[in-house]
Amino acid sequence: AQKITQTQPGMFVQEKEAVTLDCTYDTSDPSYGLFWYKQPSSGEMIFLIYQGSYDQQNATEGRYSLNFQKARKSANLVISASQLGDSAMYFCAMREPSYNTDKLIFGTGTRLQVFP
Amino acid sequence: DVKVTQSSRYLVKRTGEKVFLECVQDMDHENMFWYRQDPGLGLRLIYFSYDVKMKEKGDIPEGYSVSREKKERFSLILESASTNQTSMYLCASSIDRTDQGYPEKLFFGSGTQLSVL
| Section A86-110 average pLDDT | 87
pLDDT category at A95 given cuts 50, 70, 90 is confident
Q: Could you read off the pLDDT of B95-113 as tens digits, one per residue? A: 876 555 555 688 999 999 9
Q: What is the pLDDT of residues A47-87, one digit of tens each?
A: 999 999 888 899 999 999 999 999 999 999 999 999 999 99
Strand B64-70, strand B73-78: pairing: antiparallel
* Chain A residues within 8 A of B88 when measuring between CB atoms: 43
Residues B25, B80: Cα–Cα separation, whole Å: 26
> 10 Å Cβ neighbour count for A116?
6
Phi and psi at residue B85, to the nearest 5°: -100, 5
A18, B69 Cβ separation under 8 angstroms: no
Query: How far B40 CA sits from the closest chain A CA (Å)?
Result: 6
B3, B61 Cβ separation under 8 angstroms: no
Q: Which 3 state secondary structure label does DSSP give A30?
A: coil
Could you tell me if B54 lies within 8 Å of chain A, comparing CB atoms?
A: yes
CA–CA separation, B51 and B97 (whole Å): 12
